Amino acid sequence: MAKVIKSFSLDPDVAAFLEARGNASGEINKLVRRQMLSEQVEHVAGRRPGPGERDAARRWARRELDEARAHVEGGAYDEVREAMGWAA
Amino acid sequence: MSESPVQLILDSTALAAYGHNATVGELLNEVEDEELTVLCSTGSLAQALAVDTDRALLELLLQRDSCTAVSPLTEWERFADFLRFVGPGHDVHDAYLVMLAFQHRAYILTTDPGRYRAVHKAVWCIQLQNPWTDGATG
């Protein structure tokens, strides 16, 4: 029996994003896998953050990572890394 | 260990918060979007499990593309050099996470940055925030 493979459509901005990443099927696999894991976590924890909480957490996460990166790229670790012989 | 650069290290308090605090998951999403790596020490995993963190949540965390488990046993000589560098009197596992941070140019996610800054003041920690309620602007 012939195998039926379902197809689906994407919003233009999502399609453009995936095309820009160069490996659309790989990106979709990663996103689907992340979503499935996230749903399992919510099920086990018995807690599902609402969109407002999620958005606030995402903005906070981006801010914190940017601040941390600026700190480290500004040379905060250089002295220790040189002392340990880890400097590039 | 994953080939991609390490950006974040989760201590036991961050591991215990996974699934209960949206900030942990969103940080992991941001790291994964940049195809970077998150390290979880086997010592931190044991510490989290010992304070009744749900084992199923830890297993789901380790299934994420970004997460890699590491052990001080696999790099004990390098760790000995670092312990000599920071001097005596520190919690050995805290010192291991600080070493990982310096070695990989990464940051530690924790509720208690002071314990890691006590090992070396230059280490950068991201302090976990309480979950926001819906409608909060963050």
| pLDDT tens digits, A34-77 | 889 999 999 999 989 888 888 999 999 999 999 999 999 999 99
CA B39 to chain centre: 6
**Quick check: helix, strand or coil at residue A69?**
helix
Which of A33, A57, A84 is facing B132, going by the closest CB pair? A57
The arithmetic mean of pLDDT across residues B73-101, rounded, is 95
Q: Is the confidence at residue B134, as pLDDT, over 60? A: no
- Among A6-15, B36-45, B111-120, the minimum mean pLDDT is found in A6-15
Contact residues, chain B, for A64 at CB < 8 Å: 27, 126
- The 10 Å Cβ neighbour count of residue A23 is 11
Tokens representing B130 are 């309480």
Which is higher by pLDDT, B78 or A14?
B78
Amino acid at B5: P
How far apart CA B86 and CA A66 sit, in angstroms, is 27
How far apart CA A58 and CA A45 sit, in angstroms, is 19
Q: Is the confidence at residue B60, as pLDDT, over 60? A: yes
How far apart CA B47 and CA A88 sit, in angstroms, is 33
Number of residues written out for chain B: 138
C-alpha neighbours within 13 Å on the C-beta side of residue B49:
11
- The 10 Å Cβ neighbour count of residue A31 is 13
Tokens representing A13 are 């901005």
Share of chain B above pLDDT 70, in %: 91
The arithmetic mean of pLDDT across residues A71-88, rounded, is 94
Which of A49, A56, A76 is facing B122, going by the closest CB pair? A76
Residue B74 carries which DSSP code? G
- How much is the pLDDT for A14? 73
Which is higher by pLDDT, B110 or A3?
B110
Asked if this assembly's ipTM is beyond 0.95, the reply is no
How far apart CA B80 and CA A4 sit, in angstroms, is 58
Contact residues, chain A, for B105 at CB < 8 Å: 72, 77, 81
Residue A74 carries which DSSP code? I
